[in-house]
Amino acid sequence: MKLQDIRGLGKRKEEILSTMGINSIEDLVYYFPTKFEDRRKALEPSHGSQGSFCGRLISKEHWRSKKGTQSLRLHIAWQGYVIEVLFFNALYLDKQFVLDRDYCFYGQLIRKGIYFSMVHPVFAPAEDRDFFKLTPIYPYKKGLGQKDLGNFIAQALEGEVIKDYLFEEDRLKWKLMDLGSALYQMHFPSSRQDYGQAKYRLIFDDFFKFFLENVPEKRPATKRIERGDKNAFLNLLDFKMTEDQLRALDDIEGDLSSGRQMQRLVQGDVGSGKSAVAYYGLWKLLDSGLQSAYLAPTELLARQQFEKINLIFPGRALFLVGSSRNKKEIYETISSGSVDIVVGTHALFEDQVNFKNLGLVIADEQQRFGVAQRRALYDKGQTPHILMLSATPIPRTLSMILHRNLDISYIRHKPPGRKAIETKIVRPEGLKQVYEHIKEEIAKDRRAFIVFPLIEESEKLDIISLEEGIEELVQVFKGDLGYVHGRMDSQAKEQVLEAFKRGDIKVLASTTVIEVGIDIKDASILLLRGAERFGLSQIHQIRGRIGRNDFPSYCYLCAEKNLPERLEVLVEYDDGFSIAEEDLRLRGPGELRGIRQSGDLNFRFADLIRHKKILEEVASIVDDELINKYSSRREALDI
């Protein structure tokens, strides 16, 4: 079944679905509601009561507001009360209401003196018995409403045969709902119990697939890299390494000299110096006759790493990204073995890239690459050493479960001399003072980031967007302002960031494209709009773009609507591991909700912190025998 087979889904609506990340039937059935309206609940005659009621329409009238908008007012007789129902700027609804007929409504009751009113409730004729049910509410866009989404998803679930990848005996043994039923219950639950079982199944799937993807592999024998004088490497650096970094160097030294393949993850906080540790691996291989590949997730970060590596090891590195020119010449240089280090992006996976003797693969922000992608690069060498870097702060107990197939080095502390970032929570009415502080900082030739959660104004959420924000910021910062976002091509982003580094632009407005890795030494102040929309760890990643020098740095978290208490954790703590532990304590592992705080790990539904108990349960059942059993179903598992 394809999207085009769904009744009522024309080309325009298909285009809207695509902007929502829905390009297939699979995407559609995994597009879950964010909440449910329980229209089975009867309304009570009290202020703030939420529920459904049915009554007779006894009068209706049009009225004009002070702003000139035409609105509709209904009066509904119900249980001895007259409920005023208001629809602002919605005269088009008038034809749907006929006097002396019965209608059902769902919404929140507001008391006005001795009267009750309800504003913009959901409604239907009283004879519509489908009204009283648990109704899914989806994130949507203009031109594609709730009814459309619900209808399309229902058709997809009815028309698509959903194959369960689990063997039936295993599913029954583990007491799991079958996949087709689980997906249906996620959208149209029969009961809270069924919904809970469906959620459990999908969380189980995320963790189960993760463990099957990340199979502990036997460490094959490989060329032994002799131990050397570590101080010779340290003398190449213009800074002093921390104790955590030095311990990580010892770990890498031990791996490379063991005669067995290194499979190590360096997990460190933002700004802790993981890359410098990885450079030690590059240095160790320089005169061994082996080549190294340094893989970065974006052209921007690859360029940044290439420039740093080229400073430390002049003339020993080569740069390869999708937009590189003279690719044929680059491929020949790599295959001839006349270059020691290749720094690049996904372009390193291309079939034309053939190393003469690949001995080390470094994957920066490794969670942003698929397992199949990483394997494609590893296969370009004969059992190359593997070093992965991650700034995703996961509590140590969870990390040991998730990465049980890897050796792990932890870097908790930042280089000496860096001052803690002063973090404050502000409301929109306090932004004028924040803008004045930004002006003071850029007058010292510092740089400022202003980060927004969205590019365009949202049709579904009252959130400040980059487009809206720029209109305001241009008035405040004029020629000092520039902006970047994820839809810009790499060259355009690079040009803006170079101007930002030089100081031609002093204030950079952006979406979360700046979340990881961008290194601007002179950046001293950051404002995050819509802070309540971000997870704590994501905010900490964004905050890591400042505080990379020895002068004071400032982070302002602007909550547009509600003021979550959890933001106080970021005021109190400055390191990612502590923040992750606090997140675990605050949220608790047992709360089942579909918020993907662990999006970096490509989970559809699971959350490492909320669902820790399920993670442990799945980890306990996945062993070598089970991995072998499911090896024949790798395609169904999309591994």
Question: In CATH, what number is assigned to the domain containing residue 428?
Answer: 3.40.50.300
Cα separation, 341 vs 581, whole angstroms: 37
Of 132, 162, 192, which residue is a domain's last?
132
pLDDT bracket for residue 100 (50, 70, 90): very high
Does residue 239 sit in the same domain as residue 386? Answer: yes
Full-model pTM: 0.66
pLDDT bracket for residue 563 (50, 70, 90): low
Residue pair 17/176 in contact (Cβ under 8 Å)? The answer is: no
Q: Which residues pair with 107 in a beta bridge?
A: 51
Per-residue model confidence (pLDDT) at position 464 = 53
**Segments of 95-152 assigned E as strands:** 102-108, 110-112, 115-119, 122-125, 134-137
Of 519, 549, 574, which residue is a domain's last?
574
H-only helix segments in 37-191: 146-159, 168-173, 179-187
Does residue 504 sit in the same domain as residue 569? Answer: yes
Is 77 inside any structural domain? yes
Per-residue model confidence (pLDDT) at position 21 = 84
Give the contacts of 576 (CB within 8 A, at least 6 positions apart). 269, 270, 391, 393, 537, 540, 541
Work out the average pLDDT over 409-421: 82
Residue pair 81/116 in contact (Cβ under 8 Å)? The answer is: yes
pLDDT bracket for residue 368 (50, 70, 90): low
Q: Which residues pair with 293 in a beta bridge?
A: 342, 361
Cα separation, 421 vs 441, whole angstroms: 14
Is 472 inside any structural domain? yes
pLDDT tens digit sequence for 113-163? 778 999 999 999 999 888 888 888 888 778 888 888 888 999 999 877 788
If one compares 254 and 228, the residue with the highest pLDDT of the two is 254
Of 91, 117, 132, which residue is a domain's last?
132
Cα separation, 200 vs 178, whole angstroms: 11
pLDDT tens digit sequence for 268-304? 887 788 999 999 999 999 988 899 999 998 888 888 8
Cα separation, 421 vs 555, whole angstroms: 7
Would you say residue 638 has pLDDT above 60? no
Pairing of strands 134-137, 35-38: antiparallel
Cα separation, 377 vs 346, whole angstroms: 9
Of all residues in the chain, what percent carry a pLDDT higher than 70?
89
Is 296 inside any structural domain? yes
pLDDT bracket for residue 391 (50, 70, 90): confident
Q: What is the mean pLDDT of the chain?
A: 84
Residue pair 60/94 in contact (Cβ under 8 Å)? The answer is: yes
Does residue 371 sit in the same domain as residue 425? Answer: no
Q: Which residues pair with 387 in a beta bridge?
A: 264, 362
Would you say residue 16 has pLDDT above 70? yes
Q: How many domains does the chain have?
A: 3
Does residue 377 sit in the same domain as residue 289? Answer: yes
pLDDT bracket for residue 398 (50, 70, 90): confident
Does residue 398 sit in the same domain as residue 428? Answer: no
Would you say residue 528 has pLDDT above 90? yes
- Identify the three-state secondary structure at position 474: helix
Cα separation, 532 vs 582, whole angstroms: 17
Residue 95, domain CATH = 2.40.50.140
Would you say residue 515 has pLDDT above 70? no
Does residue 406 sit in the same domain as residue 437? Answer: no
Cα separation, 331 vs 327, whole angstroms: 6
Is 511 inside any structural domain? yes
Per-residue model confidence (pLDDT) at position 538 = 81
Would you say residue 555 has pLDDT above 70? yes
Q: Which amino acid is at 414?
A: K
Does residue 430 sit in the same domain as residue 404? Answer: no
Cα separation, 300 vs 307, whole angstroms: 11
- Return the minimum-mean-pLDDT range out of 204-218, 227-241, 319-333, 590-604: 590-604
Is 169 inside any structural domain? no
Is 336 inside any structural domain? yes
Cα separation, 373 vs 592, whole angstroms: 31
Does residue 245 sit in the same domain as residue 371? Answer: yes
Would you say residue 456 has pLDDT above 80? no
Domain that holds residue 433: 421-574
Does residue 407 sit in the same domain as residue 427? Answer: no
Work out the average pLDDT over 451-475: 64
Is 162 inside any structural domain? no
Does residue 240 sit in the same domain as residue 325? Answer: yes
Tokens 């790493």 map to which residue?
305
Does residue 77 sit in the same domain as residue 105? Answer: yes
Backbone φ and ψ of 327, nearest 5°: -60, -35
pLDDT bracket for residue 182 (50, 70, 90): very high
Would you say residue 214 has pLDDT above 80? no
Would you say residue 636 has pLDDT above 80? no
Does residue 257 sit in the same domain as residue 310? Answer: yes
Would you say residue 465 has pLDDT above 70? no
If one compares 595 and 436, the residue with the highest pLDDT of the two is 436
pLDDT tens digit sequence for 583-623? 766 654 333 233 334 434 668 888 877 888 899 899 889 88
Cα separation, 140 vs 146, whole angstroms: 7
If one compares 555 and 115, the residue with the highest pLDDT of the two is 555
Is 630 inside any structural domain? no
